[in-house]
Amino acid sequence: MEIRGLIDRGYVHTVIRKRPVDVHKGDCGKVLIVAGSREMAGAAIFASKAAIRCGSGLVKICTNKKIFLSLQTSVPEAICMEWGNTKDDLMQYDCIAIGPGMGVDRRSKNILKMILKDFDKTVVIDADGLNTIAKYDELQQLVRKTEASVIMTPHIGEAKRLLGNANIADLTRIEIASFLRKKYGCMIIVKGANTLVAVSDEDAYTNTTGNPGMATAGSGDVLTGIITSLAGQGLAPEDAAKAGVFVHGLSGDLAADKLGEYGLVASDIADYVPFALKELTE
Ligand SMILES: NC(=O)C1=CN([C@@H]2O[C@H](COP(=O)(O)OP(=O)(O)OC[C@H]3O[C@@H](n4cnc5c(N)ncnc54)[C@H](OP(=O)(O)O)[C@@H]3O)[C@@H](O)[C@H]2O)[C@@H](O)CC1
Ligand SMILES: Nc1ncnc2c1ncn2[C@@H]1O[C@H](COP(=O)(O)OP(=O)(O)O)[C@@H](O)[C@H]1O
Ligand SMILES: [Mg+2]
């Protein structure tokens, strides 16, 4: 695997376009985000707020009923759904995200299994979605076999778990991506300063946006929402992954210009997504 180039503004301009005047919400993607739990409502809020702010026509959140009220207060545009109802026809969605703050248990395993078996568009897997896959061989096989285009978004700690707790401390980002790619055969985003996006066994790209202010709880959940939204709006999985990390970093940069790096929080990144998209489509 080699770094083929940088993810820069010039490239992102070619994949995120100004909206046609006659567009309607049905054209803007219907996405499902499986996220959150009683202890971690925030993760579901950040991901769904980012997805709606990134332009999705409809965002549905599948989560624990106990956090419906917090979600509906923080992101009233999103529709809440209970875990048990995930069987509701998955193919109606243009993209599905799974993982932020959902916990690692049998229920997480079962939902992942269902999505990987029954869905054939883009699936973004983050956080506890990745931790659950790391725990069950059966899911690891399914990631390799699924017809869906899977995008995994690990930070270094999650990457280590996905590689069976191997010692990866001395590996470069590209070596980590390469091992993950060999094991899972899907698109891999290794997060952190200069996030790396590995789109095939040969090709990887480095992001050029983002700042240390983004080292704050929930900023990865925002990234999940952005990539999911872009894939749901019709970007090819590879473009959703690459443009998604760029838009995420640019939103963080615009937020930091205004707020500085210390006080920047995840909700700010989601709130600045519209400004990043405005800049990119003007
Ligand atoms: N408000 C909410 O609801 C929020 C909920 N959230 C949810 O919390 C859940 C747990 O997710 P999490 O990422 O916080 O914990 P976890 O996977 O154990 O990772 C920590 C381990 O990984 C390592 N590590 C991490 N990054 C690294 C790096 N860049 N480079 C190197 N190492 C790195 C780190 O190592 P250390 O720093 O200790 O050396 C440590 O061992 C998950 O469901 C998530 O969605 C969050 O989204 C926050 C907001
Ligand atoms: N120093 C940094 N520079 C640029 N981006 C960063 C930096 N630190 C963290 N980020 C970004 O913030 C996000 C953190 O995601 P993650 O570790 O999953 O956090 P959380 O689980 O709390 O949401 C990633 O997109 C990562 O690239
Ligand atoms: Mg995370």
Three-state DSSP string of 39-62: CCHHHHHHHHHHHHHCCCCEEEEE
Residue 221 in marked binding region? yes
- The pLDDT value given to residue 250: 98
Give the C-alpha separation, 193 to 58, whole Å: 31
pLDDT band at 117 (very low <50, low <70, confident <90, very high): very high
pLDDT band at 220 (very low <50, low <70, confident <90, very high): very high
Q: Who surrounds ion ligand 3 at CB < 5 A?
A: 127, 220
Containing H/E element for 4? strand 2-7
Span 130-148, mean pLDDT?
98
Span 29-38, mean pLDDT?
98
Phi-psi region of 184 (alpha: psi -120 to 50; beta: other; left: phi over 0): alpha
- The pLDDT value given to residue 87: 62
> For the chain, how far is it from start to end, CA to CA, in angstroms?
34
Compute, in angstroms, the gap from residue 161 CA to the centroid of ligand 2: 17
* Domains located in the chain, CATH noted: 2-281 (3.40.1190.20)
Could you read off the pLDDT of 48-89 as tens digits, one per residue?
A: 999 999 999 999 999 999 999 999 999 999 999 998 766 668
pLDDT at 93 > cutoff 90: yes
Longest dimension (CA), the chain: 53
- The pLDDT value given to residue 86: 61
DSSP letter for each residue of 110-128: HHHHHHHHH--SEEEE-HH
Compute, in angstroms, the gap from residue 253 CA to the centroid of ligand 1: 22
